[in-house]
Chain A
Amino acid sequence: MSRDVEIAVVGAGPGGLSAALAAARLGAQVTVLDAYPEPGGQYYHQPPEWQREQATRRQKHGWELWQHTLSAGVEILSERLVWNINAQQQLSLTGPDGIEQLHAEALILATGAYERPAVFPGWTLPGVITAGAAQTLLYHRVRPGRRVLIAGTGPLQLVTAAHLIKAGIDVVGVLEGSNVVGKSLEHTVRNAGAIWGQWERLGEGTGSLIQLLRHGSVYRTGWGIIAAHGRDQVEGATIARLDADWRPIPGTEQKVACDTICVGYGLVPFNGLAKLAGAEQEWRADLGGETPKRDPWFQTTIRGIFAVGDGAGIGGYHMAMLEGRTAGCAAARQLGHEIEKAAFEIRALQPALRKEAAFQRLYADLFTPGPGIFELAQADTPICRCEGVTQGQLDDTIRAGAGNVTEVKNLTRCGMGECQGRMCGQHVTQTLARMTGKTVELIGGYSARPPLFSLPIGNFISSE
């Protein structure tokens, strides 16, 4: 089954919904394709229906945006996983009825990001989960565990800790890899302008911190996890103080008893669709890794394909919404809708975008992990969770002459499994950079190949 639409938006998070709404208000026909049962993405992840009364302010805000988008005439198709794309704006996706093909005159990619797990001994043990997974369990009123250690960086770790504590779960500690206290003072002085007006957002983190300390949990900055222990599940962890490059300082190791470890060393943009379409990419450590190059209207190097939000560079929900609105207007304008009005709206968004970019820089300075988190694996630590390739095998392959990600992939099968390299990709890029002396910018990420997500072969058989 194939159909034509005017504008297709991939992803129904803050960026995607904002883009769809902006374009629809200018008179464009917009279809949103989203992988999940309900719109909202990760940021606005909705609680199950029977928990709606307990929805947070954030979830209610997401629900309102979803309703506004629907009333503007936007078609939202849920449970549609887009796994292929080409430069002619042709998409392949799987939905409830199997494989569908869709062509759009303009495309806005708002595919979001995923959490970067550090690769350390024991990271594959059940009980090691992302902070986002822990939050999802809590929305469903289920404990991730009984004694939880949180390790990573950024405000999400603090917010997760606060949610766990509120649910009565023992949070044994929160380890922030960044030496954020020292850095904050420095930044407050240097970037006073960027922080101005951001109190509300900083407040969420600060409020969580206060709750954490009141509860008696340990909050340490400049600390990280270096190993998880256990036979078939997490039974404990080893933690250590980190230096300025986030490398563990020998002699500072401590053992912690816990049954759950929430890890999240920042976010990685999901740039897979833009890359597969052939849009040029660049490595931006400050934006989370490999991102599509974009013009001021967030159009990629392919005319008619836009990329907004965290999937095009980590910037948070507010930035995602501003980028979405801009790209929504620009795409509508490109297709001839309300040319004057669209241009006016784009101009009106510029001051907010500039302000947000300043906050984005501040955030990147504070919470971009150092190289140390890519050096924790031992020779027998699996780095490719799917194919079981170990750090030792990776090191041997690079020593034997593999000089880029594709050679590593072909020689070891690293990144060829079900996750399509999303879990090991940055670790491989960083290991290659460290061992070959090349820059991460030069090495880049895995090439994107269809299907971007593992699909049951039956889907292909039944589709024709």
Chain B
Amino acid sequence: MTDKDPGEKGLMRLNQVNKAVAPLKFTVDGKTCEAYPGDTISVALYAVGQRAWRQSRQDEARGLLCGMGICFDCLVTVDGKQNLRACQTLIKEGMQVETTAKVSGKE
């Protein structure tokens, strides 16, 4: 239902998604996106084709690395709360995710 064309840029959801499951809506930097119950923010960001979502202290792009909550490289701001691990935070309906915020000690 989400993967109309496997080659289409940006759509990374595989088409085996159970059609009976209703997607959730959340926003990434104000843009509305869809995810599925049980998705973490990192899964949901990958699903919409976004893989870089944080600037390091040296202003390099960062995203997912370990996927299990130990590297802290995938930090995002969620509903105003800073420095949450995208790979450990479950998407909820209406959640507002902010990326590329210059978090972690950057003035």
Residues of chain A at the chain B interface (Cβ within 8 Å): 35-37, 42, 47-51, 54, 114-115, 117, 124-130, 132-134, 136-138, 140-145, 167-168, 232-233, 270, 382, 385-388, 417-419, 422-423, 454, 456
Contact = CB atoms under 8 A, between A and B. Distances in A.
B36 A124 contact: no
15 contacts: A54-B16, A117-B66, A126-B51, A126-B62, A126-B63, A126-B64, A127-B63, A130-B65, A132-B66, A133-B64, A141-B17, A141-B36, A232-B61, A418-B75, A422-B71
A42 B56 CA distance: 27
A130 B67 contact: yes
A-B complex: 4 closest residue pairs judged by Cβ atoms = A48-B38, A133-B67, A418-B72, A126-B63
B5 to A, nearest CB: 12
B58 A382 contact: yes
B38 A49 contact: yes
Interface of B: 6, 12-14, 16-18, 20-21, 36-40, 43, 46-47, 51-53, 56-58, 60-73, 75, 81-83, 87-88, 90, 104
Contacts of A125: 61
Given A50-B36, A117-B65, 9 more contacts: A114-B66, A124-B62, A126-B52, A133-B67, A143-B46, A233-B52, A388-B57, A419-B72, A454-B72
A124 B46 contact: no
A29 B5 CA distance: 53
Contact of B65 (A50, A128, A141, A232): A128
A127 B46 CA distance: 10
A129 to B, nearest CB: 5
Contacts of A388: 56-58
B64 A129 contact: yes
Pick the most buried of A48, A115, A127, A132: most chain B CB atoms within 10 A of its CB.
Answer: A48
A54 B63 CA distance: 28
Contacts of A143: 12-14, 46
A114 B36 CA distance: 27
A317 B14 CA distance: 29
Contacts of B60: 124, 382
- In terms of DSSP, what is the predominant structure of the interface of chain B? loop
Contacts of B39: 48, 140, 142
A183 B14 CA distance: 38
Nearest to A231: B61
Contacts of A141: 13-14, 16-17, 36
Given A132-B67, A168-B14, A50 B21 contact: yes
Contacts of B14: 138, 141-143, 167-168
Contacts of A233: 51-52, 61
Contact of A142 (B12, B62, B82): B12
Contacts of B68: 42, 114, 130, 132-133, 136
A167 B17 CA distance: 12
A216 B53 CA distance: 34
A138 B56 CA distance: 27
Nearest to B21: A50
B36 A140 contact: yes
Pick the most buried of A128, A144, A385: most chain B CB atoms within 10 A of its CB.
Answer: A385
A420 to B, nearest CB: 8
A232 B52 contact: yes
Given A51-B18, A124-B60, A386 B65 contact: no
B43 A417 contact: no
Given A49-B37, A168-B14, A124 B56 contact: yes
Contacts of B61: 125-126, 232-233
Contacts of A385: 56, 62, 65, 71, 73
Contacts of B67: 129-130, 132-134, 136-137
Given A141-B17, A385-B56, A133 B66 contact: yes
A117 B36 CA distance: 29
Given A232-B61, A382-B58, A419-B70, A50 B43 contact: no
A261 to B, nearest CB: 11
Nearest to B52: A126
Contacts of A456: 81-83
A276 B55 CA distance: 31
A137 B47 CA distance: 9
B25 to A, nearest CB: 17
Nearest to A50: B21
B72 A417 contact: yes
A458 to B, nearest CB: 8
A255 to B, nearest CB: 21
Contacts of B51: 126-127, 145, 233
